[in-house]
Amino acid sequence: MSTCRCEGDDLTRRFAIVGHRAPSRGKINLNDLAGGSGRIDVLMRAINAALFLSHGIRKDSEITLHLMGGEGRPRRINFDGSVLWGVHPDERALAGQVSKVLQEPLPAVGQWFELHPGLSHSGGDLQTTIDEWKKSEITMIKLDSDAPMLWSDNNESIPSDIGFFLSDDRPFTDSELSSLDESCISRSLGENWIQGHIAIGIVHHQLDNGFPLNL
Amino acid sequence: MSTCRCEGDDLTRRFAIVGHRAPSRGKINLNDLAGGSGRIDVLMRAINAALFLSHGIRKDSEITLHLMGGEGRPRRINFDGSVLWGVHPDERALAGQVSKVLQEPLPAVGQWFELHPGLSHSGGDLQTTIDEWKKSEITMIKLDSDAPMLWSDNNESIPSDIGFFLSDDRPFTDSELSSLDESCISRSLGENWIQGHIAIGIVHHQLDNGFPLNL
């Protein structure tokens, strides 16, 4: 497995994860993230993997949660590692941050409102994020275990800005797939359906180590 | 990056993680795993990454926690994916399982006592685990970001049973390093000091996909 140290090292990595049952407003039960809170534990682990090294925060990474559950309109929450500070990597602490956001009035679709450096929220859903990323000319990849592998022996081009879409413990809905397939290429990290946060960790690993991408 | 599907697919993967401040007895505060409980959150994420796919448990993997903190002798806890059932992947639920173990009398050094299918505990420390693995002829690897890379273009042999040692948020102590360096080879997953659970996820990924190992 040959690796190269090239433009890939300076990539900005974006991750977008959909929480199909995670509530977009109201209170989160911090003592029951997996059961009563719509598997929001899955999203907290995704934040951890997207942003944290063993000591410190990745400055080149950000993650957008899509909270599609509960009553009312969906909410998006963005954690931006380039300016974020004062967060802890454990599930409960991260859920505490998200819980505070859910107490705030929901901004309009596409209007990002910063609550704390590196922590913003907005109305909108997966399609809104796809539209925003398309405008920013981000190379968009849907992670899908059935697709061709993400890495390759021949990397013809490495984008400067790359975004990955993944789902929580449930597959993307037909409507989400339809939106994604219009704008993304699909790539796999292997045949196993691994956990979302592990997938994020593997993507970082491949980009950190300059593995040639199959784009 | 060429891959091969070979013996590596059927490898048993063992992980041993040292929790330098994680208590070996007493009560765990489930509401403060990161602060008041000796960074036991780091170990819970390691269990998650070692054992869980998105849906289901890896039958080919096990992890041994080394609880070196608190008063009294150290304790080891083993989660064996081949027979484990009834566990949930979130930090709090896993810590609840560990907390129950800490209420039990500590078995003698090297004496494994099964509390539940796939959940055992024993007295002993890192050296005890090294000695046990050596007897079982397990190929032992210390994960160390400064070492040569774990993967290579040429894999001359793939062991049937492979074990990885990693530390929590603190580096191995001099005494632990001395024990490890006598019996292990050191291999890296890259220059960044990544979180332990992410390292476990990457090891699984490399073995799942038949990446040639540099052993």
The complex scores an ipTM of: 0.94
pLDDT, tens digit (0-9, with 9 covering 90-100), for A57-104 = 999 999 999 999 998 899 999 999 999 999 999 999 999 999 999 999
Q: What does the pLDDT read at residue B4?
A: 39
Q: The tokens 């913003």 sit on which residue?
A: A120
pLDDT, tens digit (0-9, with 9 covering 90-100), for B128-149 = 999 999 999 999 999 998 999 9
Q: What does the pLDDT read at residue B156?
A: 59
Cross-chain residue pair B89–A204, CB shorter than 8 Å: no
Return the DSSP state at A7.
Answer: G
Q: Which residue has the higher pLDDT, B20 or B4?
A: B20
Residue B98 has pLDDT above 50, yes or no: yes
For residues A10-23, average pLDDT: 92
Residue B205 CA to residue B50 CA, distance in Å, equals 11
Residues of A in contact with B30 (CB under 8 A): 31
Domains of chain B: residue spans and CATH: 7-208 (3.40.1280.10)
pLDDT, tens digit (0-9, with 9 covering 90-100), for B150-188 = 988 766 567 889 999 999 999 999 999 999 999 999 999
- Please tell me the least confidently modeled range out of A164-178, B85-99, B118-132, B158-172: B158-172
**Smallest Cα distance from B111 to chain A, Å:** 32
CB proximity under 8 Å: B 28-57 to A: 30-31, 33-34, 41, 45, 48-49, 52-55
Q: b or e along A27-53 (b: 16 or more beta carbons within 10 Å of the residue's beta carbon)?
A: ebebeebbeebbbbbbbbbbbbbbbbb
Q: Which residue has the higher pLDDT, B18 or A210?
A: B18
Residues of A in contact with B195 (CB under 8 A): 48-49, 52-54, 89, 201
Cross-chain residue pair A91–B92, CB shorter than 8 Å: yes
CB A167 within 8 A of CB A18: yes
**Smallest Cα distance from B109 to chain A, Å:** 31
Cross-chain residue pair B196–A54, CB shorter than 8 Å: yes
